[in-house]
Structure 1
Amino acid sequence: MNKTELLDILQDIHPEVDYEKEKSLIDSGIFDSFDIVTLISEIAEEFDIKVPANEITPDNFNSLEAIITLLVELE
């Protein structure tokens, strides 16, 4: 899993967001359910990592760091 590639995916979803600083992508309403579905689909395609339904929680997608942690655990 490559952080730069993940950032590219995130920038495609919301280019206006500073993912290095933002810590509440879900809680602040930046990401909606469609964005999460898009992100999970792109992660599966780019990294061949399947995100199980039980891992799709706000805590796992609120920040770049949280997403990286989740993906490293699922690799």
Structure 2
Amino acid sequence: MREKIIEILNEICPGNDFENETAIIDDGIIDSLDIVAVISELMEEFDVQLGVNDLTPENFNSVDAIVELIENAQD
């Protein structure tokens, strides 16, 4: 799952070290339009539904946070 998330992030915003980045949102690496694309790809790839309550910067600031978000959505 982690590798697929990194692949999605690199497709949408290439040229970043998402593997080691811990402040994707806070550092402005991806913006709100990128987040919309990431969410769409995540929902399609992992067959999950993400609601408005899931759309917080904390859930998208790192690959680990995104993994946790998807795992919680799959439960």
- Fold shared by both chains (TM-score > 0.5): yes
Over the matched positions of the two proteins, sequence identity in percent amounts to 45
Match of 2:22 in 1: 23
Deviation at 1:27, TM superposition (A): 0.5
Give structure 2 stretches of 5+ with no counterpart.
none
In structure 1, what is the equivalent of residue 55 of structure 2? 56
Aligned AA (1:9): I
Point out where structure 1 has 5 or more consecutive residues left out of the alignment: none
Q: Output the CA distance in 1 between the equivalents of 2:12 and 2:22.
A: 16
Deviation of 1:48 (Å) = 0.7
> Which amino acid in 2 is paired with 1:62?
N
CA deviation string 1:46-65 (max 9, x = no partner) = 11111111110010000001
Q: Mapping of 1:1-75 within 5 angstroms?
A: 2-75=1-74
Equivalent position SS for 1:21: coil
**Equivalents in 1 of 2:43, 2:58: separation in Å?**
19
Displaced runs of 4 or more, over 6 A: none
Tell me, in whole angstroms, the C-alpha distance in 1 between the residues paired with 2:32 and 2:58.
14
Instruction: Please tell me the residue identity of whatever aligns with 1:54.
Output: N
Q: Is the 8 A contact 2:26 2:61 kept in 1?
A: yes
Matched letter for residue 32 of structure 2: S
* CA drift at 1:5: 1.4
